[in-house]
Every structure is written in structure tokens, then in C-alpha cells.
Amino acid sequence: MNPMEDKPAGSPIDRKPGGEFNHTAAGPDLGLGSAQTAGAAGSRRSFPNQGESIAAILDVIRRGERFLVCSHSRPDGDAVGSMLATGMLLQQMGKRADLVTADRIPNIYRELPGAEGIRCAMRVHGPYDAVIMLECDSLDRTRLRGLEAFFVVNIDHHSTGREFANLNWIDREGASVGELVYRLAKAAGATVTPEMATCLYTTVLTDTGGFCYGNTQASTFELARELTLAGADPLRIAQEVYFSTASSKLLLLGAALSNLKRDGRLAWLWITHQDMVRSCAAEEDCEGIVNYAICIAGVEAAAFLRELPERTIRLSLRSKGRVDVAAIAARLGGGGHENAAGVTLEGPLHRALDEILVELRPQVAEMAVEPGDGRS
């Protein structure tokens, strides 16, 4: 189901050649999307409990008509799936939703219902009654420009989540932000269609690393069960996500593994921009490479560094639970979860590697390496 499908011919949505995303029709002025309550600059509200947060968000939705739904740059399964499900929820509530990301949707998520309706743009224009921003800790995290003009609703589940928006609902217990969208949909009395269930199941599957990471709880399986009963097909979704790998990714993995280093409780690996070019790799082919470092027996924390074309370094951090990598990433200007976090650092590669090892080494210094840990 595509939230954009019902747009009439001559829709006000206009994809500009310069990468701008323009919504030119005038909407009702509800005092939400105007400059007076501009983005993070206006009033900021959060509520002490989930019920009030959800009620406040539903109130914003009910009072508005047109919404922009977005998530972080380089969208992952949670970003894509939760955007799509939010678009479907808004559509069921009789609202118009534009789904926009700064970067293209990875191939493995392109089969998700409605994915073809997500637009790629660098800048957004109003008039939206509100922006629903999923799993971002700032407007910058979207890499979309033009958001300052809007009333922003921030829904997040990261441990480093911040109350930067006009309305904030951060639940750090959520296995995925899709889990929060599911609760919102239930509270709104929406029908969780098979299409919505498919998108939401994908958020849970991918953000828990296939029900392996520390955010996997009994309630996560309960959620997966409910979504399966609502029509998500676990086999098909797993095949799309885990068994549809591009061969370029395996070439890239080969390059990364040839740069794999291990020192006691730490392991790291990297790829250069040259490796990317030689493997004909796409951005999304880097997803999951860090797991080959953290999966080593005895390793407690792992880093994957990737040289971007502009020579900055994209860093992915993972932990098995004894090192809080979100705190480290936050110190360096990024964020994430205790067991999975990221940040972009200044290059060159060796400088970024030194910077992260200086942070990681003291974290594992006290951990004795046990017999059998060091097999390498």
C-alpha cells in the first residue's frame, strides 16, 4: 500500500531537478507548521508517560492535514519500515503524508509495500502541518534542509535520543522505532494491515539483528507474533533482508576482512574509498560488515571504519554488552544504542582509527583475556 498512491493527477508534489522536494499547495493554518513554532527553535514538550506522549502526538495528527515523514540519512530497515508504516497510519487517519529521505533506499528494502513512494531529496518545502521525524537526535541527522520551518514531532528509541523537537516521545526500551509506531497505530484504533505489519516486522527484525541484540526482550517476540498474525511473512521478509545480498557486497567484505585486526578484547576492520570503487560497492553494501569483527570469540567491542569519498570517516561501533559504545560515539559527536552506535569522524583513516582506539582501549583494559579467547 503506497501512501502516495491516492494523490490526484496534478498533485502538488513536485520533485525539482535540483534535488528539492516542494509541496506547493496551501494547507490550513493550524498554528502548528508556522514559523512562530519553528522546528526545534519553538516550544519543546515531552510527557512523563507513554500514554500522554501518544495522546499528544495523535492530537497533532488529528488537527493537521498534511505531514512530512522522515528519518535519518542512510536509512536502515527501521528508518524505512517505520516511515512506511507511519505513512500508512496517516493515510488511514485520512491525512496526506509525504515520505522523504536524503539518501536512496537500500535495495533490500525496496520491495517493502509503498517503498516506491519514498522520495529522495535534499530540501523540503511546506506547507506541512507537522513533520514526524523517526529515530533522529536532531534535525541535522536527517540531512534534509528546510526542516527548521516546521513543528517537529520526534519519535525515537536511541539511548542517546534527545528532546530537540517541539513534541518528543523517546522510549529507550523500544526494540525499534517501528515498535513505537505500532503502539501509536494501536492507540489510534488503526487496522494493522498486512502491508503495515510487513513494514513493522522488518523494523524489529533488522534493529534486533534477527532477534540477537540486547534490545530483544519477551515483548519483542510478542510484537513479532502480533505482526505475524496481522499478516507479516517472517520467511519472506528474512529472505529479502538476509538472503538477497549483492555480489558487490561480498567483494567488499573480502577487502574488509583482509584489513581485520584483533587486539585482546577489541577488533576492528576498515575499507578505503578505493576498496569501494574496486568492488563497485554501494553505500548499503557496508551494512553489517562490523558484525564480522564483533562476532569473534572473546571480542567485547568492535569498530568498522569506512572512508567516504570526501575523505571523512564513517565509524560503526558494536559491543557485546560490557562496553557502552553509545557513550563513546556521543563523546565523538555521534550516538546510537549501548551495543550499536555510530559517528562520522575527520580523516584520514589512520587518525580516525587512533581516535577510536584511544577511546576503546581503556574500556576493555580491566577485562582479563581468558583461555581460549585469543584463538585468532
3 binds, among Mn ion, ligand AMP, none (CB under 5 to 8 A by kind): none
Decide whether 23 or 72 has the Cβ nearer to ligand AMP.
Answer: 72
Decide whether 98 or 137 has the Cβ nearer to ligand AMP.
Answer: 137
Decide whether 87 or 126 has the Cβ nearer to Mn ion.
Answer: 87
The span of 204-212, 237-245, 283-291, 300-308 binding Mn ion (CB under 5 A) equals 204-212
Radius of gyration of the chain (CA): 21
Question: What is the smallest separation between the CB atom of 141 and ligand AMP, expressed in angstroms?
Answer: 6
Question: What is the smallest separation between the CB atom of 306 and Mn ion, expressed in angstroms?
Answer: 17
The span of 75-83, 105-113, 143-151, 236-244 binding Mn ion (CB under 5 A) equals 75-83
Distance CA 198, CA 200 (A): 6
Give the pairing type, strands 167-170 and 45-46: parallel
User: With binding defined as CB under 5 A, does residue 359 bind Mn ion?
Assistant: no
Distance CA 224, CA 234 (A): 9
Kindly list the residues in this chain that would bind ligand AMP in the complex (CB under 6 A): 72, 137, 141, 158, 160, 316, 334-337, 340-343
Q: Quick one: cell of 372?
A: 581460549
Distance CA 95, CA 57 (A): 14
Provide the CB-side half-sphere exposure for 317 (13 A, CA). Answer: 33
Contact 142, 160 (CB under 8 A): no
Helix, strand, or coil here: 304? strand
Provide the CB-side half-sphere exposure for 171 (13 A, CA). Answer: 22
The span of 71-79, 136-144, 210-218, 228-236 binding Mn ion (CB under 5 A) equals 71-79
Q: Which of residues 127-156 bind Mn ion (CB under 5 A)?
A: 135
Decide whether 1 or 79 has the Cβ nearer to ligand AMP.
Answer: 79
Residue of 147, 76, 120, 70 lying closest to 342 (CA atoms): 76
Q: Which of 3, 78, 252, 345 binds Mn ion (CB under 5 A)?
A: 78
Q: Site residues (CB under 5 A) for Mn ion?
A: 76, 78-79, 135, 176-177, 207
